[in-house]
Amino acid sequence: MSSGIKDAQKHTEQLLKKIKDGKLSTSEIDSLRDVLRFHEHRYYIQNDPLISDFEYDTLFKGLEALEKEAPDLVTPDSPTQRVAKGLTKDFPAAPHLVPMLSLDNSYDSEDLLDFDRKARELTGLSEIEYCVEPKFDGASISLIYENDRLARGATRGDGVRGDDITPNIKQIRTIPLSARFSAYGLQTVEIRGEVLINKNNFKKFNEALAEQGLAPLANPRNAAAGTLRIKDPVEVGRRKLEAFVYHVSYYLTDDGLQMTDDSKDVEEAHTPSSVTRHLPSSLTTHSGTLDMLWDLGFRSPANEKKVFRGIQAVIDYCNEFEKERDELPYEIDGMVIKVNDFTLQDKMGMTSHHPRWAMAYKFKARQATSKLLRVEYQIGRTGNIGPVAKIEPVHIGGVTVSSISLFNEDVIREKDIRIGDTVLVERAGDVIPYIVKPLTELRTGNEQPIKFPTHCPSCGDELYRSPEEVAWRCVNASCPAQVLERLMHFASKDAMDIRGLGEANIEKFYTLGLLRSIPQIYQLDFEAIGKLEGFGPKSIGNLQLAISNSKKQPLHRLLFALGIRFVGETMAKTIANAVGHLLDLREFDEERLQTLEDVGPKVAGSVVQFFRNEDNVKMLTELEDLGLQLKNEKKEVASGGNLDGQTFLFTGTLHKLKRSEAEERVEKAGGKILSGVSSKLDYLIVGEDAGSKLEKAKKIATIRILSEDQFLQMLEPA
Ligand code: IVH
């Protein structure tokens, strides 16, 4: 089998080169089709592609060009004549009312200019109106509503028939179980959309997997697609999927008018004028459809979409949107440009593969292949040994990646990663880069298994692994690497935020014996530091100020800074809120800790262990003597309010409250004020003359935008 794969890879490379050099000839047509079928199988059925989307498209377009040159050579089973087959047998089959086509892909502005030129040719117009919206990177679905009720939800499958996954679809909160299509005179409607898992939930999901010692999922798309196929709707519900809808593919009106089923018959579909649609007045443009879906209670890209005349503005919007890609709460892999007017769409028609009136504009790739050179082992602040893959530096989505965490030994074993392997690397959004898998087909036989160390690379002590854990640990508490990590964590931005006490300086002070424990941060010998190279009066002054300011940090930051296992920022807030003084935690047993929100046995056990350790208590007393804040000054506020944990931002002029008053009230009710619009924001409160923040917030579908009155109502519900 693997030699078959190698052959296919070799052919792929040869064909790609010929296409690039413009040397492809019709004698290669069969070989090109075979190669395309091979990659379609890898992609659709094995879910394990060997080439990038771009390379696939290049091959596909190469074949299209050959067939255009020699129409006689077109065979009914050519990849250009059908959508790839691939169906899972476990779910009932769900024939689509209209085949689910794909989109044609473009990668740069040249491609879009080309698309526009063809669109103008086909319509005979000199300028076209386009609707542009995000291309959601998830799993596509089809929904059928009959008499206002959700009747069926299905996967794409092979495009003609998918899997009926209605019970799972019903778990998705953003898909209404009923919608008043009848108000638009519509009786039966088939809708297309994309199921996603947002980045935050994806992260949580992967963290949960990691806690159980399981390998994390590759990316949000795989997580969404995989979840849709779970045979346990309750579990599906727990994973908090979301859906965007963006297309009505079929409808039947109350008075029997039907959208012409134009793509069942491929031959017909090639003749643009064969299609006539009878549209209810509100359904004449794509942007109108998105608005209708939004009004009916769906999540459509109604706020993200924009309508432009002419292609240049479209290109600008795509580039602008790409810059904000990382700020969105969900993954997008490009934009979709659609001719806005349905009459023009019908005039342009479709191929058997994609509509001619739409084009996907793909953002820069976030996957690449590279070679695994070696594995290094980092020691965490709790002594956990983290394997890190060093790869040949590779550019992915605008950054160079050369180091990638391999998480733990099990991940290495499960993925069977070896030194010398060619590995597929992905970097998606704010998800850290990771190795998707080794390309085992490309092995030469010289790859070496990874040998996990038996002794700590820093202090040489023997490593341990408890049966219920995935990590190997160095249990020597004074292991230099661990002490350094603890110091770095303590001073870091999200913890005590001591600027000037970064990695390099901590290492320098440690080596010179000036800094060996956390309390020593507050007793640094600045005279000695002043004699070091690179430390002038100004930098020393800044460092002193930062250290002294850190003494005033709120209690939850200090608790987080201590680096207690399983106590992250949120957990530290919950726990700090429950005490009047940090050392009160000495009196807490596991049971009492577990009465706090989200505190489970793991966290509780770890906190109890920390506060029962005399050395830790001594250190905290010392810190208090040195002037740090161990009392909880905010205990009386910020918990149990009706805005608990929600985030807010105000923009524009408020009329009933002063800005500072409004912010205070949010905090009193347990809410938090953010400084800018990002996916972390829950509510934007809009006053008069709101500006760019409002524009930005509109692009993030999870942000709720409220007026001042709505906000006041929220504070004091009637
Ligand atoms: S329109 C005939 N719009 O991308 C209508 N598709 O790579 C064709 N996709 O199969 C689809 N976001 O699953 C459309 N805003 C969007 C989309 C979108 C994501 C998916 C869809 C399609 C795939 C093609």
**Candidate list 6, 135, 204, 693, residue with the active-site label:** 135
Q: What is the pLDDT of residue 468?
A: 77
pLDDT digits (tens, 9 = 90+) for 657-685: 877 778 878 887 888 888 788 888 999 99
Q: What is the pLDDT of residue 261?
A: 44
Q: Whose CA is nearest to atom 6 of ligand 1?
A: 135
Q: What is the pLDDT of residue 181?
A: 94
* Ligand 1 centroid from CA 107, angstroms: 16
**Backbone dihedral region for residue 586 (phi beyond 0: left; psi -120 to 50: alpha; all else: beta):** alpha
Pocket test of ligand 1: the residue of 287, 330, 336, 340 to mutate, having most ligand atoms within 8 Å of its CB, is 336
Q: What is the pLDDT of residue 218?
A: 67
Classify residue 12 by burial, with Cβ atoms within 10 Å: 0-12, 13-18, 19+. buried
Q: Which residues pair with 195 in a beta bridge?
A: 139, 243
* Ligand 1 centroid from CA 38, angstroms: 23
Distance CA 145, CA 45 (A): 29
Q: Is 135 a catalytic residue?
A: yes
* Ligand 1 centroid from CA 252, angstroms: 22
Q: 353: Cβ below 6 Å to ligand 1?
A: no
DSSP state of 628: -
Q: What is the pLDDT of residue 266?
A: 36
pLDDT digits (tens, 9 = 90+) for 504-523: 999 999 999 999 999 999 99
Q: 141: Cβ below 6 Å to ligand 1?
A: no
Distance CA 94, CA 88 (A): 11
How many other CB atoms sit within 10 Å of the CB of residue 343? 14
Residues of the chain with pLDDT under 50: 1, 45, 83-89, 213, 261-278, 636-639
Contact 318, 113 (CB under 8 A): no
Tell me whether strands 672-673 and 647-651 are parallel, antiparallel or unpaired.
parallel
Pocket test of ligand 1: the residue of 103, 335, 339 to mutate, having most ligand atoms within 8 Å of its CB, is 103
Contact 178, 244 (CB under 8 A): no
Distance CA 566, CA 589 (A): 16
Q: Which residues pair with 647 in a beta bridge?
A: 672
Q: What is the pLDDT of residue 692?
A: 82
Q: 333: Cβ below 6 Å to ligand 1?
A: no
Q: 247: Cβ below 6 Å to ligand 1?
A: yes
Q: What is the pLDDT of residue 527?
A: 94
Q: What is the pLDDT of residue 662?
A: 86
- Measuring CA to CA, which residue among 468, 455, 466, 470 is closest to residue 412? 470
Q: 103: Cβ below 6 Å to ligand 1?
A: yes
- 397: Cβ contacts below 8 Å, ≥ 6 apart: 363, 364, 365, 366, 427
